[in-house]
Amino acid sequence: MIPRIAASDHEQFLSKYYHAEQPVVLTEAVDSFATAGEVCRKLNARINNDNTASQRLLWYDVRRNLLDQICGTPEIVDHVMNPDGAFLRDNCVRIWFNPAGHVTPWHYDGHSLHVFNLQFKGKKRWTIVAPETPFLCTPFSHTTVRKRPSIRGKRTFTFDLDEGEMLFLPRYWFHYVESVDDMNINVNWVLMPKVHAAPSVTARREAEMMWLKARLDPVLPANAKKTLHNYAGVGKPAVDNLTEHVSTTAGVMRLGKELVRVPFWLIALPAHVAKLRALLRTKRELSRLRSNTEGEVAAVEQPQLVN
């Protein structure tokens, strides 16, 4: 069973989970008395009105202040989102709007990100797998070859994340997430810690892939170049930190290890189709939300009269 502790228990969280990079559910992370519909409309109106917000494949990337007066940053998140201990991106908050039945396929997050995932509205069912018992991924990617790989023999947790709870998902943990309630709204705060990760197969693979990409920079395809130059929001300092202990032999061997996986792209076809379907469904849902909130956007755009 995944451990659950009170979000206010900072000492236990930091010593047993944050620094040890182990997942935990933090209970009573925030209160919200608004309905899912109200939260959805408010967030969408702000996103539509903010030119620093950007729409990604399945979520929005926004700045922290977009949440002002909607959902404050939990104290413990504020404490660790500190430039002394972490690489931080400007748009360090992700917002997800997912209807019932939405599935986010198996993957682990890029950019060596720790994720604080607040279930602001609704409920989601998570299955997570530790980086030391990883799944096989397609070459140079963070997504699994199989759509529903077996979790037998893996270190894994399956649990529901209820409204008001926040999951701390450390870097390199694989996850598969199903949306349970009619409307599910999640807020994530993300950061890359500056301390080195505990050794694991996945941590080593990520470091070796980035070592290789840094050396191949001039010939990288646009997507890979973008990831390299924006790694964890800061690029080179984060990549240098991550790849500090990668030897030339390990880096070069990584190229071979990824290339032998190329045939797995074929086996991965159903996984890619599932991802594409999730993407299209979310896009449809997002545009529906957008058109539903047009009235409110207009209201926000009205100049405010201040006496």
Ligand X SMILES: O=C(O)CCC(=O)C(=O)O
57 class by beta-carbon count within 10 Å (0-12 exposed, 13-18 middle, 19+ buried): exposed
* Residue closer to Fe ion (CB basis): 21 or 109: 109
- Smallest gap from residue 30 Cβ to ligand X (A): 16
Say how far residue 245 (Cα) sits from the centre of its chain.
Answer: 25
Q: Which of 13, 96, 97, 189 binds ligand X (CB under 6 A)?
A: 96
**120-179 positions binding ligand X, by CB under 6 A:** 124, 175, 177
Non-local CB neighbours of 52 within 8 Å, separated by 6+ positions: 62, 63, 90, 91
For residue 232, the partner it binds in ligand X, Fe ion, none, with Cβ less than 5 to 8 A by kind, is none
Retrieve residue 88's tokens. 């931080």
Residue whose beta carbon is closest to Fe ion: 109
What CA–CA distance (Å, rounded) separates 261 from 114?
27
Identity of the residue numbered 263 = P
List the end-to-end C-alpha distance of the chain, in Å, as a whole number. 56
Q: Given the rule CB under 6 A, which of 69-77, 109-117, 136-144, 288-296 is the region that contacts ligand X?
A: 109-117
Q: Give bridge partners of residue 196 from the DSSP assignment.
A: none
> Taking CB under 6 A as the rule, which mask of x and - marks residues 176-195 in contact with ligand X?
-x--------x-x-------
Site for ligand X contains 119 (CB under 6 A): no
Q: Which of 73, 117, 202, 243 binds ligand X (CB under 6 A)?
A: 117
304 class by beta-carbon count within 10 Å (0-12 exposed, 13-18 middle, 19+ buried): exposed
* 27 in Cβ contact with 4 (< 8 Å): yes
What CA–CA distance (Å, rounded) separates 175 from 117?
12
Site for Fe ion contains 109 (CB under 5 A): yes
**Pairing between β-strand 93-99 and β-strand 114-121 as defined by DSSP bridges:** unpaired
- Smallest gap from residue 118 Cβ to ligand X (A): 10
* 108 in Cβ contact with 131 (< 8 Å): yes
Q: Given the rule CB under 5 A, which of 86-94, 109-117, 195-203, 297-305 is the region that contacts Fe ion?
A: 109-117
* Residue closer to ligand X (CB basis): 143 or 188: 188
- Smallest gap from residue 177 Cβ to ligand X (A): 4
- Smallest gap from residue 94 Cβ to Fe ion (A): 9
* Residue closer to ligand X (CB basis): 36 or 212: 36
Site for ligand X contains 115 (CB under 6 A): yes
Q: Which helix (H) or strand (E) holds 213?
A: helix 201-215
Where on the chain is the footprint of Fe ion (CB under 5 A)?
109
Where on the chain is the footprint of ligand X (CB under 6 A)?
96, 98, 104, 109, 115, 117, 124, 175, 177, 186, 188
